[in-house]
Chain A
Amino acid sequence: MSQMNIIQAINDALKLEMRRNPDVVVLGEDVGKFGGVFRATAGLYDEFGDTRVIDTPLAEAGIIGASIGMAMYGLRPVPEIQFADFIYPAFDQIINELAKLRYRSGGEWTCPVTIRTPYGGGIRGGHYHSQSPEALFAHIPGLKVVIPSSPYDAKGLLLSSIRDDDPVLFMEPKRVYRAARGEVPEGEDYTIPLSSAKIIREGRHCTVLSYGAMIHTCLEAVPLCESDGYDVELIDLRTLVPWDRDTVMSSVRKTGRCVVVVEAPRTASFAGELIAEIQENCFLSLESPIGRVTGYDTPFPHTLEHLYLPDAERIRQTVTNTMTY
């Protein structure tokens, strides 16, 4: 075991899988010689060469379009979109092509592409280096959406994603790329199954449901809630599509209360979907309305980002409201 951050864990996963499977190729802007703007692909170019670690032209639709063609041909491309904010030029390729190919061809063609992209705020990135657009993709049948929060999970989930026969959007919480550290078995092959949520902390009073960078904000809120007398059960969803209903529902049935925390804008965020499903399935167990802590329905701000993003205090307040309803 060695201490790693999320970037190192992702790098370790990519190296491992590229050594294991010659069909795995990495492509994207600046991913080659430079090793990626966040260094996630550092060292791959030297080890695997420019046929498998491909610096692409600056065109996201091309990165995903070419990945689709490669995947149809039998390769396992792992394209990187430098920031999730820049994924929209590839929207058509992702939604109309990548996600639908298996279905529209009656299962004749498959598209095992894992799109890696850093998402989320808190790095002073303004409108275009901060967005959290996971709900836009969670809405698309045929895509899987995975968001790790820790180095150990990042590696195990990325390996599962690359080996999965369906397209996966793998969103990386860039605010904690380096801040989140933990034990990761370096060079060792292990996977974490997709669609399995993780109970990070057991608690009796209120289920707090979140994913990605917000898990770390929730962890800050846990002791605050504890000092208020509330014992929080914190769940990391890890996969948004298809998500682990069993783990979530049994937790909410146990606690009878739930708060969902996401940093995306409030309207039509993935929190809305989680809440709808939970209330349909756990109505008789619920002691109070399910609470929601989210970003605001504004474009992502620059100077005021600390006020936009949910923080531990906002989570604490919503937990209190839910507990005292």
Chain B
Amino acid sequence: MTDGEPLLQILDEHGNLVGDIPEPLTNDDLVMLYRHMRRIRVVDERMLPLQRQGRISFYGAATGQEAAVVGSGYALSPDDWVFPALREGGVALMRGYDLWLYIAQLFGNITDVTHGRQMPCHYTSRRHHFVSLSSPIGTQLPQAVGTAMGMRIRGETKATAVYMGDGATSEGDFHIALRFASRYQAPVVFFCQNNQWAISVPSSKQTRATSFAIKGTAYGIPWERVDGNCVLAVFAATQRAVQRAYAGLGPSFVEALTYRIGAHSTSDDPSRYRDESVTEAWKSRCPLIRFRTFLTTRNLWNEDKERNFVTELETAIKQAVHEHEAASPPPLSSMFTDVYAKLPAHIVEQQQMAQNFAATKPRGHRS
């Protein structure tokens, strides 16, 4: 892949303003954008070691991609719907999802609203229109189009945002979703976080097209490429796409070029397949440092604020980790509920079977 199409940038790599601050962002919004980004970084930094220590089973961090997550998430209204991929848990937090529940999901104990049924980082919050994540790649894309079609069918002025990584653009569901979206002019925003790696496969081996965004052209979908480490550019492009959706102009595609600083997940070792000196170079393009420099020069942020924000957050995280880790596992009975709206007789029988067995067996089989 050659980087053919220009990237929208509003802050350059040194934090200098090279474009206009997008309307209608106020100084408070700018600070809020930074706080959201910083929160993701702090949470990721605290959760990764838990996995290494064997205290949670998995973790997928968004390190280096915080601007892409936050800039796009900030352009959405509470009534809009979000279909996340692996690294957009931060969008749920931005929409008001409780950090305590977020951490509960990672431990999967009795405090987890999904009863420990999914691996860590598979959040859901219906109240925040944040759709339950599944692991298969790209399956959320046609679903998001269906939700957007539903918004159209009901004549509502809303949008659906759906996230994907660069790897997902190889899936059939990606092409099907773009096809359906353009056919019905569905109010959907496709947001591709091009972090340049699909586990071990670089973006250069994922397409011979000049970008991922340009694939929109084949489906008659307008697209835009942005510097994914510039939170203002990401916001501006996503906001344009959302406004198009509200105006009945159909789908849009945003590609945010960024870089996966860490491993794909805690089960991965990138040193085996990539030149980590490139990673070091991208670390110096950290989206947080860039934006903080900008905020500092405008006197919107300073060391004290940074310290207070991080300390307060870390205290809350520590407390939540303590509580969720100490919580008991979900009861055995919870394995059998929610398969159907009502427990059918054969599952009641199996639930009873499992409970009888647990009652006669030593530790480990007990609920």
The reply to whether chain A is a binding partner of chain B is yes
Q: Interface of A with B (CB < 8 Å)?
A: 25, 51-52, 54, 56-57, 59, 61-62, 64-75, 77, 89, 92-93, 96-97, 100-110, 141-142, 144, 164-166, 195, 242, 245
A92 touches which one: B126, B139, B150, B340 (CB < 8 A)?
B139
Which residues of the other chain, B, contact A52 by a CB distance below 8 angstroms?
Answer: 153
Q: How far is the CB of A60 from the nearest CB of chain B, in Å?
A: 9
CA distance A74 to B131 in the complex (A): 13
User: Which residue, A25, A65, A100, A242, has most C-beta atoms of chain B within 10 A?
Assistant: A65
**In the complex, per-residue mask of B103-133: 1 if CB is within 8 Å of any chain A CB, else 0:** 0000000001111011000101110000110
Q: How far is the CB of A164 from the nearest CB of chain B, in Å?
A: 8
Chain B residue, CB-CB nearest to A166: B340
CB pair A104 B132 closer than 8 Å: yes
**In the complex, per-residue mask of B139-162: 1 if CB is within 8 Å of any chain A CB, else 0:** 101111111111111000000100
Known pairs A101-B132, A106-B115; A62 contacts B338 (CB<8 A): no
Known pairs A62-B176, A65-B141, A104-B134; A242 contacts B346 (CB<8 A): yes
Mark the stretch among B38-46, B85-93, B177-185, B308-316 that contacts chain A. B177-185
Q: Interface of B with A (CB < 8 Å)?
A: 81, 83, 112-115, 117-118, 122, 124-126, 131-132, 134, 136, 139, 141-153, 160, 172-173, 176-177, 179-180, 183-184, 337-341, 344-347
Known pairs A72-B147, A73-B147, A245-B346; A93 contacts B142 (CB<8 A): yes
Which residues of the other chain, A, contact B338 by a CB distance below 8 angstroms?
Answer: 102-103, 105-107
CB pair A108 B126 closer than 8 Å: yes
CB pair A59 B180 closer than 8 Å: yes
Q: How far is the CB of B163 from the nearest CB of chain A, in Å?
A: 14
Known pairs A57-B176, A65-B177, A69-B148; A166 contacts B341 (CB<8 A): yes
Not counting A65-B176, A109-B131, A142-B339, a sample of 17 additional A-B residue pairs whose C-beta atoms are within 8 angstroms of each other reads A51-B153, A57-B180, A59-B180, A62-B180, A66-B142, A66-B146, A69-B83, A69-B147, A69-B149, A70-B146, A72-B147, A77-B146, A105-B126, A106-B113, A107-B337, A109-B124, A109-B132
CB pair B126 A65 closer than 8 Å: no
A65 touches which one: B115, B117, B145, B183 (CB < 8 A)?
B145
Q: How far is the CB of A161 from the nearest CB of chain B, in Å?
A: 13
CA distance A213 to B26 in the complex (A): 67
CB pair A106 B146 closer than 8 Å: no
Q: How far is the CB of A52 from the nearest CB of chain B, in Å?
A: 7
Which residues of the other chain, A, contact B180 by a CB distance below 8 angstroms?
Answer: 56-57, 59, 62, 65-66
A sample of 17 inter-chain contacts (CB < 8 A) reads A52-B153, A57-B180, A62-B173, A69-B147, A70-B150, A70-B153, A73-B151, A93-B139, A102-B339, A104-B122, A104-B134, A105-B114, A106-B115, A109-B132, A144-B340, A195-B344, A242-B346
CB pair A72 B143 closer than 8 Å: yes
Which residues of the other chain, A, contact B114 by a CB distance below 8 angstroms?
Answer: 104-106, 108
CA distance A190 to B117 in the complex (A): 38
CA distance A89 to B340 in the complex (A): 24
Known pairs A65-B173, A103-B338; A96 contacts B124 (CB<8 A): no
Q: How far is the CB of A168 from the nearest CB of chain B, in Å?
A: 11
Known pairs A73-B147, A106-B114; A65 contacts B341 (CB<8 A): no
Chain B residue, CB-CB nearest to A113: B146
Chain B residue, CB-CB nearest to A111: B143
CA distance A77 to B142 in the complex (A): 14
CA distance A57 to B114 in the complex (A): 35
CA distance A108 to B127 in the complex (A): 9
CB pair A102 B341 closer than 8 Å: yes
Which residues of the other chain, A, contact B160 by a CB distance below 8 angstroms?
Answer: 69
CA distance A162 to B180 in the complex (A): 24
CA distance A107 to B343 in the complex (A): 12
Q: How far is the CB of A244 from the nearest CB of chain B, in Å?
A: 9
Q: How far is the CB of A140 from the nearest CB of chain B, in Å?
A: 10
CA distance A109 to B140 in the complex (A): 14
Which residues of the other chain, A, contact B149 by a CB distance below 8 angstroms?
Answer: 54, 66, 69-70
CB pair B177 A110 closer than 8 Å: no
CA distance A236 to B122 in the complex (A): 41
Which residues of the other chain, A, contact B112 by a CB distance below 8 angstroms?
Answer: 106
CB pair A108 B124 closer than 8 Å: yes
Which residues of the other chain, B, contact A104 by a CB distance below 8 angstroms?
Answer: 114, 117-118, 122, 124, 132, 134
CA distance A71 to B149 in the complex (A): 11
Known pairs A142-B340, A166-B340, A166-B341; A106 contacts B117 (CB<8 A): yes
Known pairs A65-B145, A108-B124; A74 contacts B150 (CB<8 A): yes
CA distance A141 to B347 in the complex (A): 10
CA distance A126 to B70 in the complex (A): 53
CB pair A242 B345 closer than 8 Å: yes
Which residues of the other chain, A, contact B117 by a CB distance below 8 angstroms?
Answer: 103-104, 106
Q: How far is the CB of B228 from the nearest CB of chain A, in Å?
A: 26
CB pair A65 B139 closer than 8 Å: yes
CB pair A96 B144 closer than 8 Å: no
Known pairs A67-B146, A73-B147, A93-B139; A110 contacts B341 (CB<8 A): yes
CB pair A66 B126 closer than 8 Å: no
Known pairs A74-B150, A108-B124; A69 contacts B345 (CB<8 A): no
Known pairs A65-B142, A66-B146; A165 contacts B179 (CB<8 A): no
CB pair B345 A92 closer than 8 Å: no
B139 touches which one: A74, A75, A96, A102 (CB < 8 A)?
A96
